[in-house]
Amino acid sequence: MDITVNILLTIATAATPLLIAAIGELVVERSGVLNLGVEGMMIMGAVGGFGAGYLTGSPWIGLLAAIAMGAVFSLLFAVMTLSLATNQVATGLSLTLLGLGLSGMMGTSFVGQPGERLPNLYIPVLTDIPVVGRLLFGQDPIFYISIALTAAVMWFLFKTRTGLTLRSIGDSHTSAHALGIKVIRYRYLAVIFGGACAGLAGGHLSLVYTPQWVENMTAGRGWIALALVVFASWRPWRVLAGAYIFGAVWIGQLHAQAFGIPVPSQLLSSLPYLATVVVLVLISRNKRLTMMNTPASLGQPFVPDR
C-alpha cells in the first residue's frame, strides 16, 4: 500500500511542472500568441528560484523569485512580438536558446550546492489519515497551486467577461480591434501570465523535484508542455489529464526499467510521449469542438491599421 501511495506521489510531482507551464501557455495561446519560449522561461525560473532560495536560505523567496524571473523573461518576448511585431515562432525559439545559455552562465556558482526544498504540507490528524492523508494533505505547496490554477483558468476563460474577451482576441484580433478591445494590452498580460507560470514550473524543479541546480535541468519539459496545449485542443481540463497521463507513464516506465523487463529502454523512454499523444488525440476526435476551441489567429502578428 505504501508503495502505491509513493508511486502516486511521484506521479503528481512529475506532472505538476508540466501542468503549470502548459496552463500558462494555454492562456497565452488562447489570446492568439504562440510563445515557443516556454523551455527558456522555465529554466530561467529554475535558476532564479534556486539562486534566490540558496542565497537567502528561504525556499519561499525562491518561489517568488522563480515566478518573477519567468514573468520578466517573457516580457522580452512580449516587447518583441507585440510591440515590434516580430515573427512569433523565431522570437520564441530564440527565447528558449537565450534562456538555456543565460541560465547556465548564471548558475555556474550554484552547481553542486545543496538547495532549499519547499516543505510538504503537514496538517495534524488529516495528513496522518492512512493512504488518502498524504495524497490529499501531504504534498508540496506547488501541487496545490497547480490544481487551483487549473480550476481558476477554467473559470476565468469560460465564466468571466474578461475571459470571453481574451478568447475573442484569439479568434480574430481584427474583429476585436474593430470593437475597440485593446488587443495588445490583453496579449501583454497573457504573455506575462504565461511567463510567470513557466517560471513557477521551473521553480518546482529546482525547489521541490530535485532541490539543486543542474544545467539544462528542465530537460525538454517546456516542449512537452507546449505539445500538451495543442494536443489538449486548448482546454484546461484536458491539459490536466494530459500532464498526469504523461507523468504516470513516465514513472511507470522508470519502474519497469528498474525491474529489468526485456524491452529496449529506448522504447520504454518513448512510451510517455506515445501514450499522451494517443490519449489526447482520442479525446479530441470531435472535430467541431476542436475547431471551436482552436484560436484562429494563433501566431499571427497584429498591427493595427492607423
Picking from 190, 193, 197, the residue whose alpha carbon sits closest to that of residue 18 is 197
What whole-number distance in Å separates Cα of residue 58 and Cα of residue 238? 34
Q: Which of 35, 103, 150, 168 is the binder for other proteins (CB under 8 A)? A: 168
Give the binding-site size for other proteins (rule: CB under 8 A): 24
Shortest distance, position 305 Cβ to other proteins, whole Å: 7
Shortest distance, position 282 Cβ to other proteins, whole Å: 19
Going by the DSSP 8-state scheme, the letter that residue 120 receives in this structure is P
285 binds other proteins (CB under 8 A): no
303 binds other proteins (CB under 8 A): no
Picking from 210, 235, 226, 236, the residue whose alpha carbon sits closest to that of residue 147 is 236
Q: What is the largest CA-CA distance in the chain?
A: 66
Quick note: the x/- pattern for other proteins over 123-162, rule CB under 8 A, is --------------------------------------x-
Shortest distance, position 269 Cβ to other proteins, whole Å: 37
Phi, psi at 224, each rounded to 5°: -65, -40
Q: Are the C-beta atoms of residues 243 and 15 closer than 8 Å to each other?
A: yes
What whole-number distance in Å separates Cα of residue 39 and Cα of residue 225? 9
Q: Which of 85, 123, 132, 291 is the binder for other proteins (CB under 8 A)? A: 291
Give 262 or 287: the residue with its C-beta nearer to other proteins: 287
Shortest distance, position 153 Cβ to other proteins, whole Å: 18
How close are the terminal C-alpha atoms of the chain, in Å? 66
Residues of the shown chain interacting with other proteins in the complex, contacts defined by CB under 8 A: 161, 164-165, 167-168, 171-172, 174-181, 287-288, 291-294, 296, 305-306
